[in-house]
Structure 1
């Protein structure tokens, strides 16, 4: 008789919608592990760039996935570190340009297939908080709770602008808005695992919600599903 798999809470949604804040809070709240699936695509895209592999050479990009040694360290954005082969890639991975590179390779079925099992390998006891775009629709279809966070492109661009400005980056709001719309277009219209809420997901529009209000709503979901500690 096989033992039951650890539980999963899947949190999906477009870029800049607050998935990072929510999933870090959930991981702390539950004591479960956390998967930032978007970071895996960013890492793979950067690895391809570093290796001189064109991002449209999908087979060659996908072949890099199996050899990447990845570690996620830290529980908050402030103390986060992402190590690849022992080197700290955190700054590069979180750059807006890297997100755009990741969105390009994420449209390729062979790339998605190469990263699928790597994502599922993060499912270990006591449970997993999975952050991404297809966690509830493809990677963990049996997730105990599926949440889809959404917000207007304008709100997401403004949030990203504030986030980057706090870090001292010089960014243009109009450029960020264009990038958000372009990434949405790629993510929602790709033929494999498009960005869409799972039929059984709880959709939360955060456009006009502050972080405490979002977390309060999710706290109620945990209670209703008896996932509170």
Structure 2
């Protein structure tokens, strides 16, 4: 089957990773969660007292970037790859609210974005990849054959995130999660470097009132049409 590059962007908690994992599995593609990469760098910064405390030290974080090693390792039992930070599995820790509170701040740092975007571009050289994040269709893969921009109301997204955190045993309040979602939206959309925005040729996909099965079937069928058109040489 002809392989393409699939870029999925959108606001936090819109289900980008869920649909990206499903697509990758159905197509036999590689899945890359770029959000996990930014979260891992954020966790590194928190652990080293560079963000999250009374004083942040972005300069020190930039100086320490060469010491950060990120790697995805596939977990057969889970059916997806987990994030490793300097050879430590941090998949669960990076999904917590503490990291969520600071990831947008770390992600707007120019040097952080340059480092991770370079990694991401190298991952997608051979196509056959599904990558989700904030700037995949605009910066990482501007020539991707399929670009999807996912959205949903802040309230719907906050509720999904709230339920997810509760299921993981974390003690959080819905109001705190909603404030975090709204805060991240503001930072992600207004940052100077690689702001979150819909690529001109991306498909807008609002799943506020859509179940997982329905959204997957719609996007999967559209993906198959794109692949078939490429096979026929149709742009």
State the TM-score, normalized to the length of structure 2: 0.86
Question: Could you tell me how far apart the structure 2 residues matched to 1:57 and 1:207 are?
Answer: 38
Change (3 A) 1:9 1:135: same
SS in 2 for 1:225: helix
Q: Matches of 2:162 and 2:94 in 1, distance apart?
A: 17
- What are the equivalent positions in structure 2 for 1:19-98 lying under 5 Å apart? 19-54=16-51, 56-72=56-72, 73-74=74-75, 81-98=82-99
8 A Cα contact 2:96 2:165, kept in partner: no
Q: Structure 1 residues 132 and 79, CA, compared in 2 at 3 Å: closer, same or farther?
A: closer
Please state how far the C-alpha of 1:111 moved relative to its aligned partner: 2.0
Q: What whole-Å deviation, never above 9, does each CA across 1:102-125 have from its counterpart, x for those lacking one?
A: 111112222211222111121154
Once the two structures are overlaid, the 10-residue window that deviates more, 130-139 or 81-90, is 81-90
- Compare 115-124 and 130-139 and name the one that shifted more: 115-124
Provide the residue aligned with 2:106 in structure 1: 105
1:61–1:111 CA contact under 8 A, matched in 2: no
CA distance in 1, matches of 2:196, 2:76: 26
Question: CA shift at 1:149, angstroms?
Answer: 0.6
Measure the CA separation in 1 of the matches of 2:148 and 2:31: 15
Count of matched residue positions in the alignment of Structure 1 and Structure 2: 224
* Structure 1 residues 1-229: aligned runs within 5 Å: 7-54=4-51, 56-72=56-72, 73-74=74-75, 81-125=82-126, 127-226=128-227
**Residues 75-84 or 210-219, more deviating:** 75-84
Q: Which range moved further: 51-60 or 214-223? A: 51-60
Secondary structure of the structure 2 residue equivalent to 1:196:
coil
Provide structure 2 residue ranges, at least 5 long, that are not aligned to the other structure.
none
Check 1:62–1:119 CA distance in 2 against 1; reply closer, same or farther (3 A cut): farther
Provide the aligned C-alpha RMSD in A.
2.3
Q: Is the 1:44–1:61 contact (alpha carbons within 8 Å) kept by the matching residues of 2?
A: no
Distance 1:196 1:219 in 2: 23
In structure 2, how many angstroms separate the alpha carbons of the residues matched to 1:210 and 1:179? 23
**Cα pair distance change 1:178/1:40, threshold 3 Å:** same
TM-score, length-scaled by structure 1: 0.89
Alpha-carbon contact 2:40-2:83 (below 8 Å) kept:
no
| Cα 1:93–1:26 shift into 2, 3 Å | same
